[in-house]
């Protein structure tokens, strides 16, 4: 398949003890950071869920994270979803868990419309919907398959050109239109934090996303009442995101260590 996947057999299900222990330590560390940030922000324990960002990690590594308490997985690339879905489903089943039901599977990376069919049978939620065109294409496929796909609207709060996401000024209108589409369930908003050292700017992006979510809910428009999630915060900025209302943090490096390849 694609060159980046030649680096590693992503379907591999075995793992040595040392590596499994590293990952378990990573999960415990992240769960502790989440709990501390919840307490610091005066939020209820357990109000923030951990999504393990599993790009470049194989099935064995992901299962080590599940065994340490991870209950949500996010992949960036449709090819990686395909490469791992069967192995994950089988390994989870052996532990009495079901992929999707007990361990929701999200797509968190950009989705080209010709790949929608690859991810739809497996993922519960697509976090990277940032245009009406993409939403309509997913909706059409979902209706054809007689299923409902969860969607987060991705907003480019940082304004950085390299980032995906819709312009913030379009977010409320897009959310209302997505909420009204059959085949989709609008579950919330997602953003990637500003890639700067200035904590105030990072915080500001997260706070704006929260206000946008609140405005969408307050609009009372058709199909937006489930728009509650705020997927924001990664390894380096999860504490700030939780203080600003994040409900899902997407964490890779702090669980698994540096990425094996890009
Ligand atoms: C990789 C990735 C993450 C996790 O990033 P880390 O810095 O490794 O925690 C979160 N969200 C998205 C969209 C990603 O691609």
Report DSSP letters for 161-189, one per residue: TTS-SB-GGGHHHHHHHHHTSTTEEEEEE
Asked if residue 262 is part of any domain, the answer here is: no
- Domain residue limits at 71: 6-256
Q: What is the pLDDT of residue 261?
A: 67
User: Separation of 121 CA from ligand 1 center, angstroms?
Assistant: 23
Give the count of beta carbons closer than 10 Å to the beta carbon of residue 25. Answer: 12
Residue 1 lies in a domain: no
pTM of the model: 0.96
Question: Does residue 85 form part of some domain?
Answer: yes
Q: How many domains does the chain have?
A: 1
Average pLDDT rounded to a whole number, residues 187-215: 96
Residue 261 lies in a domain: no
What's the whole-number average pLDDT of the chain? 96
Is the pLDDT reported for residue 43 higher than 60?
yes
For residue 99, the 8-state DSSP code is B
Instruction: Report how far ligand 1's centroid is from the alpha carbon of 72 (Å).
Output: 14
The verdict on residue 23 lying in a domain is: yes
Atom 11, ligand 1: which residue's CA is nearest? 250
**Ligand 1 centre from 104 Cα, in Å?**
17
Residue 152 sits in a domain of what CATH number? 3.20.20.10
Report yes or no on 244 lying in a domain. yes
- Give the pLDDT mean for 143-160: 96
- Ligand 1 mean position, distance from CA 234 (Å): 6
Chain segment 101-122, per-residue pLDDT in tens: 999 999 999 999 999 999 999 9
| Predicted confidence (pLDDT) at residue 151 exceeds the cutoff of 90 | yes
Q: Say what the pLDDT of residue 6 is.
A: 74
Instruction: Let me know how long the chain is.
Output: 262
Residue ranges of alpha helices (H) inside 9-144 are 17-40, 59-67, 78-94, 116-119, 132-144
On the question of pLDDT at 242 being above 90, the answer is: yes
Lowest-pLDDT range of 25-34, 183-192, 225-234, 252-261: 252-261
Q: Is the pLDDT of residue 1 over 60?
A: no
Report the atom number in ligand 1 closest to the C-alpha of 253.
8
* Atom nearest to 251 CA in ligand 1: 9
How many Å from the N-terminal Cα to the C-terminal Cα in the chain?
A: 16
Please report, for residues 43, 56, 199, 223, the alpha-carbon distance to residue 123 in angstroms, rounded to integers and kept in the order given. 29, 17, 33, 21
Task: Report whether residue 252 contacts ligand 1, using a CB cutoff of 6 Å.
Answer: yes
From the CB of 87, is ligand 1 less than 6 Å away? no
Q: What is the pLDDT of residue 33?
A: 98
d(C-alpha 67, C-alpha 50), whole Å: 14
Q: Which of 211, 154, 141 is nearest to 181 (CA)?
A: 141
Q: Which atom of ligand 1 is nearest to the CA of 259?
A: 8
Q: For 231-240, what is the mean pLDDT?
A: 98
Query: What is the pLDDT, as a whole number, of residue 7?
Result: 78
- Is residue 241 assigned to a domain? yes
């Amino acid at each position: 398949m694609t060159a980046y996947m030649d680096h590693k057999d992503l379907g591999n299900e075995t793992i040595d003890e040392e590596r499994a222990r590293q990952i378990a330590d990573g999960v415990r560390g992240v769960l502790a950071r989440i709990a501390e940030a919840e307490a610091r922000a005066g939020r209820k324990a357990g109000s923030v869920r951990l999504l393990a960002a599993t790009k470049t990690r194989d099935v064995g590594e992901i299962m080590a994270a599940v065994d340490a308490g991870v209950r949500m997985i996010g992949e960036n690339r449709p090819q990686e979803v395909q490469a791992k879905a069967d192995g994950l489903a089988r390994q989870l089943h052996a532990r009495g868990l079901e992929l999707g039901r007990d361990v929701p599977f999200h797509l968190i990376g950009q989705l080209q419309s010709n790949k929608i069919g690859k991810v739809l049978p497996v993922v519960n939620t697509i976090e990277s919907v940032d245009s009406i065109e993409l939403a309509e294409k997913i909706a059409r496929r979902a209706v054809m398959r007689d299923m409902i796909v969860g969607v987060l609207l991705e907003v480019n709060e940082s304004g950085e050109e390299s980032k995906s996401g819709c312009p913030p000024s379009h977010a409320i209108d897009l959310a209302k239109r997505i909420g009204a589409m059959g085949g989709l369930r609008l579950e919330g908003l997602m953003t990637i934090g500003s890639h700067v050292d200035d904590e105030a700017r990072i915080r500001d992006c997260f706070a704006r996303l929260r206000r946008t979510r609140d405005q969408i809910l307050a609009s009372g428009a058709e199909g937006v009442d489930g728009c509650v999630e705020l997927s924001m915060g990664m390894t380096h900025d999860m504490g700030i995101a939780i203080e600003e209302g994040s409900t899902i943090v997407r964490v890779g490096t702090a669980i698994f260590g540096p990425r094996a390849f890009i």
